[in-house]
């Protein structure tokens, strides 16, 4: 598809007051999570993934890659915002055992 | 960081919003339109800055992130933000922030509806996305702030939910804030700021189709042609107007409203009942039929509609009753709804009741005030009664014959007193009132009306007098039965009242109702 995952400083340490968002936990493998992510059925510019414990969202930067896809970046996400349809799918795939909020 | 543009609208002592654009020197792949909108948002509710927070011990007055999606969120969700009051699934608390949190804490699978647990989660998420500003922020850390309609007002409530990945040194200072302000005032402030901000972005990025399209969307919020009227009316009536099928059903229902109300009403009465086509940023005053439907159970059936509209029709042909007496109440800040209702009930007893009598003659008091009442069958057994209140015409209480606790004399008297509480004290919620006393009415208002009724029918003065006349203490069941009979209230109401006045313990109250000593 040509899409590329590339983390951005807004979600990384070091903290800069007034310039940061939610911070990804150390050691999180953004590229692997992105590969395993699911597209939001209602908002195609968003994808979701889980490591079984935490939920993550990837957001399209809307900037084209040389191969015609888009750059994406990700950040930790609220379970309560992971669409119910995706949580149902993850339960059937054994990624989580019950829906989370 | 350099602030390159800023705009403030509203009044910081009640509700205000400020947007600023700030240079962001960090370089990374990011949408160019959004990058241009990097900046801050500051929101004041009840004069409290709810975006004020600490980062590494340093106080910051505003939340920072890309503002274009937030501006777009306001524009896209404008109609539900300013017209939808009904919470998803269940009326779980008095304000949206508390209710939405409570619905998640009490597992959604336990909520009684015909939806499965994923459908319930979906309903919760859809409502949340329409009303919580965090939905506009992907990766940023915004306060847990909800905006919804509340009568003729906008309710802004701030909860304590946090974003995952928020560092421990980052903390919003002002949570659990609830403000209710005129809907038009809040809408005008937000409109003013988002319009000016988008014009500034359009000036900076004249070739952006996303920004020019957003500018048009914001312009359309004025609804000059009234094209948004039906959807707004549907939201006010408790319909999920995101569903085109539900809107279609609503349009059908509304056309029958017109038929049922008939042609006998004068123009003013029709305006009160169903409103008229008009645009503007927001429907400031809800038509009374929308208020009725919006606070009734979502399972409203055809018979219910007929009953409600027939009664409304009658009210709108009655003359305006005499002026209400002004009930003087002590100004005690920060009371719970129950405590407030109790204070109001005692004050109303002093002003309205015959204090020489041995009980409160609620029917005579209603007659004196020009308030009529009748009894009819509504399908929702949890609905106690409906109060129809207009400034220009009559005031009427419709008692539900089908109410789960029946309509025996003590229950009926309590119901009438409960409705009198609404009529006397809840008119600030909206210019036109249609209070359905049931599970979909605002919880704090219901709690207050219940406490009002208890204090009005069982004031301390009467309880003390009767207590002295008893040969055995009032917390003995035998004495309580006699007191309840004298006051013409149910034993359970008396037990609750005595418990709330701390005359009996919870155990003693239970014994009065269920025990035999």
CA distance to B60, B462, B485, B493, per residue, from B479 (Å): 62, 14, 10, 15
Mean confidence (pLDDT) of chain B: 90
Q: Does A22 touch chain B (CB under 8 A)?
A: yes
What was the pLDDT predicted at B25? 79
CB spacing of A80 vs B104 below 8 angstroms: yes
The DSSP code for B333 is: S
Q: Based on the number of CB atoms within 10 Å of its own CB, is A67 exposed (0-12), middle (13-18) or buried (19 or more)?
A: exposed
Closest CB to A61: pick one of B26, B30, B164. Answer: B30
C-beta separation of B44 from B193 below 8 A: no
What was the pLDDT predicted at B430? 66
- Is the model more confident about B228 or about B276? B228
Query: Is residue B329 predicted with pLDDT exceeding 80?
Result: no
CB spacing of A78 vs B166 below 8 angstroms: no
Closest CB to B56: pick one of A17, A25, A71. Answer: A17
Over residues B10-19, mean pLDDT? 98
What was the pLDDT predicted at B277? 64
pLDDT range class, residue B337, cuts 50, 70, 90? confident
For A85, name the nearest residue in chain B, comparing CA atoms only.
B118
- B82-97 pLDDT per residue, tens: 999 999 988 889 999 9
C-beta separation of B342 from B457 below 8 A: no
- Per DSSP, what are the bridge partners of residue B159? B144
Over residues B47-55, mean pLDDT? 97
Q: How far is A1 from chain B (nearest CA, A)?
A: 18
- Is the model more confident about B249 or about A80? A80
- Is the model more confident about B185 or about B508? B185
- The values of phi and psi at residue B280, to 5°, are 105, 170
Within a 13 Å sphere around the CA of B493, how many CA atoms are in the beta-carbon half?
28
Over residues A50-64, mean pLDDT? 94
Over residues B155-173, mean pLDDT? 95
C-beta separation of B462 from B474 below 8 A: no
Among A20, A24, A66, A90, the strongest candidate for a mutation testing the B interface, having the largest count of B CBs within 10 A, is: A20
Query: Is residue A21 predicted with pLDDT exceeding 90?
Result: yes
CB spacing of B165 vs A15 below 8 angstroms: no
What was the pLDDT predicted at A65? 93
- B192-223 pLDDT per residue, tens: 999 999 999 999 999 999 999 999 999 999 99
pLDDT range class, residue B128, cuts 50, 70, 90? very high
- Is the model more confident about B210 or about B272? B210
ipTM over 0.90: yes
The percent of residues above 70 in pLDDT, for chain B, comes to 97
Least reliable range by pLDDT among A2-11, B92-101, B265-274? B265-274
For B170, name the nearest residue in chain A, comparing CA atoms only.
A17
Count of beta carbons in the 10 Å neighbourhood of residue B486? 15
The percent of residues above 90 in pLDDT, for chain B, comes to 60
Count of beta carbons in the 10 Å neighbourhood of residue B287? 23
Find the helix or strand (DSSP H, E) in which B466 lies.
helix B460-469
Query: Is residue B289 predicted with pLDDT exceeding 90?
Result: no
Count of beta carbons in the 10 Å neighbourhood of residue A44? 9
Over residues B145-166, mean pLDDT? 95
What was the pLDDT predicted at B517? 67
CA distance to A25, B105, B271, B283, B444, per residue, from B85 (Å): 38, 21, 21, 13, 14
Q: How many contacts (CB atoms, under 8 Å) link A and B?
A: 105
3-state secondary structure of B475: coil
Over residues B473-491, mean pLDDT? 92
- B390-419 pLDDT per residue, tens: 778 888 999 999 999 999 999 999 999 999
Closest CB to A71: pick one of B26, B29, B117. Answer: B29
Find the helix or strand (DSSP H, E) in which B64 lies.
strand B63-66
pLDDT range class, residue B110, cuts 50, 70, 90? low
Alpha carbon distance B239, B197 (integer Å): 32
Over residues B16-43, mean pLDDT? 93
pLDDT range class, residue B318, cuts 50, 70, 90? confident
Closest CB to A22: pick one of B40, B128, B163. Answer: B163
**Residues in chain B closer than 8 A to A30 (CB atoms):** none
For A45, name the nearest residue in chain B, comparing CA atoms only.
B138
Over residues B282-294, mean pLDDT? 84
pLDDT range class, residue B13, cuts 50, 70, 90? very high
- Is the model more confident about B166 or about B302? B166
């Amino acid at each position: 598809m040509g899409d590329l995952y590339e983390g951005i400083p807004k979600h990384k340490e070091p903290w800069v007051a007034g310039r940061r968002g939610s911070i990804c936990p150390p050691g999180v493998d953004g590229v692997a999570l992105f590969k395993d992510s699911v597209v939001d059925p209602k908002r195609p510019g968003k994808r979701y993934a889980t490591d079984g414990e935490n939920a993550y969202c990837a957001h399209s930067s809307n900037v084209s890659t040389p191969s015609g896809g888009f750059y994406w970046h990700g950040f930790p996400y609220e379970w309560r915002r992971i669409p119910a349809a995706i949580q149902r799918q993850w339960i059937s795939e054994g990624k989580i055992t019950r829906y989370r909020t | 960081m350099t602030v390159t543009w800023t705009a403030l609208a509203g009044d910081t002592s009640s509700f205000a919003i400020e947007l600023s654009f700030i240079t962001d020197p960090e370089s990374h792949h990011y949408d160019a339109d959004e990058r241009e909108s990097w900046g801050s948002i500051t929101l004041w509710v009840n004069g409290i800055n709810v975006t004020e927070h600490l980062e590494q011990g340093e106080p910051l007055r505003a939340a920072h992130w890309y503002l274009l999606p937030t501006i777009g969120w306001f524009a896209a969700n404008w109609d539900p933000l300013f017209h939808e009051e009904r919470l998803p699934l269940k009326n779980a608390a008095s304000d949206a922030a508390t209710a939405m949190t409570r619905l998640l804490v009490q597992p959604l699978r336990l909520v009684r509806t015909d939806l499965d647990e994923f459908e319930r989660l979906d309903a919760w998420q859809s409502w949340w996305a329409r009303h919580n500003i965090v939905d506009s922020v992907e990766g940023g850390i915004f306060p847990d702030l909800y905006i919804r309609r509340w009568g003729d007002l906008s309710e802004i409530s701030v909860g304590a939910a946090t974003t995952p990945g928020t560092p421990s040194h980052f903390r919003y200072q002002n949570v659990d804030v609830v403000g209710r302000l005129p809907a038009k005032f809040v809408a005008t402030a937000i409109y003013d700021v988002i319009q000016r901000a988008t014009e500034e972005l359009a000036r900076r990025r004249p070739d952006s189709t996303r920004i020019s399209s957003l500018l048009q969307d914001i312009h359309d919020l004025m609804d000059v042609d009234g094209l948004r009227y039906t959807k707004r009316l549907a939201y006010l009536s408790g319909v999920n107007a995101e569903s085109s099928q539900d809107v279609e059903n609503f349009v059908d229902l509304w056309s029958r409203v017109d038929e049922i109300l008939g042609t006998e009403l004068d123009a003013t009465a029709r305006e009160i009942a169903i409103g008229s086509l008009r645009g503007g940023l927001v429907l400031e005053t809800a038509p009374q039929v929308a208020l009725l439907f919006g606070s009734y159970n979502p399972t409203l059936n055809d018979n219910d509609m007929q009953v409600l509209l027939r009664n409304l029709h009658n009210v709108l042909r009655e003359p305006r009753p005499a002026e209400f007496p002004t009930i003087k109440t002590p100004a005690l800040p920060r009371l719970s709804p129950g405590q407030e209702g109790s204070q109001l009930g005692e004050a109303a007893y002093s002003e309205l009741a015959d204090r020489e009598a041995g009980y409160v003659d609620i029917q005579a008091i209603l007659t004196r005030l020009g308030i009529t009442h009748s009894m009819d069958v509504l399908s929702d057994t949890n609905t106690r009664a409906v109060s129809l209140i207009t400034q220009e015409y009559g005031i009427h209480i419709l008692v539900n014959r089908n109410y789960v606790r029946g309509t025996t004399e003590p229950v009926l008297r309590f119901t009438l007193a409960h409705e009198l509480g609404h009529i006397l004290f809840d008119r600030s919620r909206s210019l036109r009132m249609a209070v359905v006393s049931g599970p979909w009415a605002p919880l704090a208002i219901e709690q207050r009306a219940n406490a009002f009724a208890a204090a009005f029918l069982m004031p301390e003065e009467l309880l003390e007098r009767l207590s002295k006349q008893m040969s055995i203490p009032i917390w003995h069941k035998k004495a309580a039965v006699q007191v309840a009979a004298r006051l013409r209230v149910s034993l359970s109401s008396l037990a609750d009242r005595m418990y709330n006045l701390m005359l009996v313990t919870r155990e003693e109250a239970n014994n009065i109702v269920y025990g035999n000593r």
